[in-house]
Amino acid sequence: MALVNENFLKLPGSYLFSDIAKKVNTFKVTHPKQDVIRLGIGDVTQPLPPAVIKAMHNAVEEMASKSTFRGYGPEQGYNFLIETIIKNDYASRGISLEPSEVFINDGAKSDTGNIGDILRHDNSVGITDPVYPVYIDSNVMAGRAGDLIDGKWSNLVYIPCLSENNFIPQIPDRRIDMLYLCYPNNPTGTTLTKEELKKWVNYALENDTLILYDAAYEAYIQEPDVPHSIYEIKGAKKVAIEFRSFSKTAGFTGVRCGYTVVPKELNAITLDGEQVSLNKLWNRRQCTKFNGTSYITQRAAEAIYTPEGKEQIKEIINYYMTNAKIMKEGIESTGLKVFGGVNAPYLWVKTPNGMPSWKFFEQLLYEANIVGTPGVGFGPSGEGYIRLTAFGAREDCVEAMRRLKNWIK
Ligand SMILES: *Cc1c(COP(=O)(O)O)cnc(C)c1O
C-alpha cells in the first residue's frame, strides 16, 4: 500500500469557519425571528466591473472562431498581461522588472502555498502572528513546521503583532531563512510604513533571509507613506518574492487570477554553498506543475488596467473602504478599541476587558446579532480580538453599527 505524506496528518482540522457556521445556525434555530448580519466574510460581494465582463465576452468570442482560438498558453502567462502589469503596477512606481520576472497564476493562494516546493524542508520559517493560515499549513505539509505544541508549531518563529506594539512586528534576535509578511495585513487590517518595511528588508539583506511578501490588499492602500510593493525598498529585489492577486483588487475571487514576482537578482543557496536563481527554479516548477491561467481570465485581468477598468475598480474599492470607515467610526464611538480599516477592508477589534475571542463572538451574536470571526482562529496572538470585514452591503454595515451602539450603551 502506498505510504502517505504523514506531515498532512499533523494538521489539525480546519474548523474555524465550520464552527462559526454551527454556532450561527444554532442561534438561528433558537431565535428564528432575529436577523443576523454577517461581518465575518472574507469574500468580495460586488459584481465584476463592466470593463472586465466586456473583455471576457470578447475573449470567449475569440475562442469560438478557428482563426482566433487559443489552446495552451505560456505557463508563465501571456505577454500582453505581463507587460500591462509591469507598466501599471511597477514602472509607475519607479520599479523596473523584466517580463520573465512575472509569473501569472490562478490566484495568490496557490503560489503562497506552492512556493515552498523550491525550498528545502529544513529552512527555518518566520511568520507574523496572527496570520493568513495558508503560510503555516503549507509549511506543515512540507515538514517544515515541526510539531504542534500548545497551539504553536515547534519549528516556526512566531512574531507577535499586538496592540501593545502597534501591530508592528519586532525584528527577531536570531536569523530566519524564510519569512512571510503580508501587508496590508489580513486579519489585522494594519500596514507597515516604508520606514518599517525597510527595517525588514535590511534584516533580510544582513541575514540572507528570503521574504515572501503577500500584497493581496495593495489596491486598498489609501495613505501615501504605505508601500504598495516591497520593491519600493532599496535592495528588496535581492531578498523578496512578491505575491499579488486580482481577487480583492477587482472581485476575481471566483474568476481566479494573480501573479508572483520572482526577481532575477534573488538567489538561494545549496548545502554546498552554490548560489541558485530562484527565478529559474520557480520557472521550472511552474512549467512542470502548472499549465497556465486561462486566456479568457488573462484578458479579463488585462481589462482592469484600462482607463474604464481602473475607474470601475476604484469605485468598488471606495465602496468597501467607505464601509470600513463607517464601521471604524461606529466601533470607536462605543469605546471599543479597533485597528485597521484605513488601508485594508478589515477591522480588528479588541474585546472588552480581555474577554476571550470566542466568548465575545457569542455575545456579539446573541446580543447584537452580528457575526464576526474570532481572532484566535488566526493564531495565538489573535486571542482577545475579533475580525470584522467591510466586504458586506452598505446598509448591513450601517445597521450593524446601530445595533452595536445600542448594545454597548
Ligand atoms: C484573499 C487573500 C489572498 C488572495 O488569494 P487568491 O487565491 O488570489 O484568491 C492572498 N493572501 C491573503 C492574505 C488573502 O487574504
CATH of the domain at 325: 3.90.1150.10
Residue 350 domain-assigned (yes or no): yes
Same domain assignment for residues 35 and 58 = no
Q: Where are the beta strands (DSSP E) in 50-143?
A: 102-105, 125-129
Question: Is the CB of 229 within 6 Å of ligand 1?
Answer: no
Question: Is the CB of 216 within 6 Å of ligand 1?
Answer: yes
Residue 301 domain-assigned (yes or no): yes
* Whether residue 368 has pLDDT greater than 90: yes
Question: Is the CB of 132 within 6 Å of ligand 1?
Answer: yes
Question: Cα–Cα distance between 294 and 299 in angstroms, integer?
Answer: 9
Does the pTM surpass 0.95? The reply is yes
Determine the atom of ligand 1 nearest the C-alpha atom of 214.
11
Same domain assignment for residues 165 and 300 = yes
What pLDDT, on the 0 to 100 scale, is given for residue 14? 78
Q: What is the DSSP letter of 113?
A: H
What pLDDT, on the 0 to 100 scale, is given for residue 41? 80
Residue 234 domain-assigned (yes or no): yes
Helix, strand, coil shares, percent, the chain, to 5: 45, 15, 40
Q: How many domains does the chain have?
A: 2
Q: Ligand 1 centroid to 324 CA: how many Å?
A: 19
Q: Ligand 1 centroid to 274 CA: how many Å?
A: 33
Same domain assignment for residues 187 and 126 = yes
Tens of pLDDT, residues 221-263: 999 999 999 999 999 999 999 999 999 999 999 999 999 999 9
CATH number at residue 86: 3.40.640.10
Domain boundaries, position 332:
15-44+314-408
Q: Ligand 1 centroid to 244 CA: how many Å?
A: 8
**Interstrand relation of 178-182 and 125-129 (parallel, antiparallel or unpaired):** parallel
Same domain assignment for residues 91 and 146 = yes
Domain end position, chosen among 249, 275, 305: 305
Domain end position, chosen among 277, 305, 333: 305
Determine the atom of ligand 1 nearest the C-alpha atom of 245.
8
Same domain assignment for residues 194 and 155 = yes
Tens of pLDDT, residues 324-355: 999 999 999 999 999 999 999 999 999 999 99
What pLDDT, on the 0 to 100 scale, is given for residue 144? 97
| Mean pLDDT of the 171-196 span | 97
* Whether residue 310 has pLDDT greater than 90: yes
Same domain assignment for residues 270 and 164 = yes
Question: Is the CB of 227 within 6 Å of ligand 1?
Answer: no
Same domain assignment for residues 98 and 205 = yes
Residue 218 domain-assigned (yes or no): yes
Same domain assignment for residues 82 and 152 = yes
Query: Percentage of the chain surpassing pLDDT 90?
Result: 97
Tens of pLDDT, residues 9-58: 999 887 788 899 999 999 999 999 999 999 998 899 999 999 999 999 99
**Interstrand relation of 156-160 and 178-182 (parallel, antiparallel or unpaired):** unpaired
Residue 247 annotated as lining a ligand binding site: yes
Same domain assignment for residues 282 and 206 = yes
Question: Is the CB of 101 within 6 Å of ligand 1?
Answer: no
**Which of the listed residues 104, 106, 109 should we mutate to test ligand 1's pocket, taking the one with most ligand atoms within 8 A of CB?**
109
Of all protein residues, the one whose alpha carbon is nearest to atom 4 of ligand 1 is 108
Q: State the chain's mean pLDDT as an integer.
A: 97
Residue 1 domain-assigned (yes or no): no
Question: Is the CB of 247 within 6 Å of ligand 1?
Answer: yes
Query: Percentage of the chain surpassing pLDDT 70?
Result: 100
Residue 220 annotated as lining a ligand binding site: no
Same domain assignment for residues 117 and 22 = no
Same domain assignment for residues 318 and 224 = no
Q: Give the three cell numbers for residue 251.
A: 472581485
Residue 77 domain-assigned (yes or no): yes
**Interstrand relation of 370-371 and 37-38 (parallel, antiparallel or unpaired):** parallel
Q: Ligand 1 centroid to 108 CA: how many Å?
A: 5
Residue 9 domain-assigned (yes or no): no
Helices (H) and strands (E) in the chain, counts: 12, 17
Domain end position, chosen among 305, 337, 352: 305
Same domain assignment for residues 32 and 65 = no
What pLDDT, on the 0 to 100 scale, is given for residue 382? 98
Residue 5 domain-assigned (yes or no): no
What pLDDT, on the 0 to 100 scale, is given for residue 228? 98
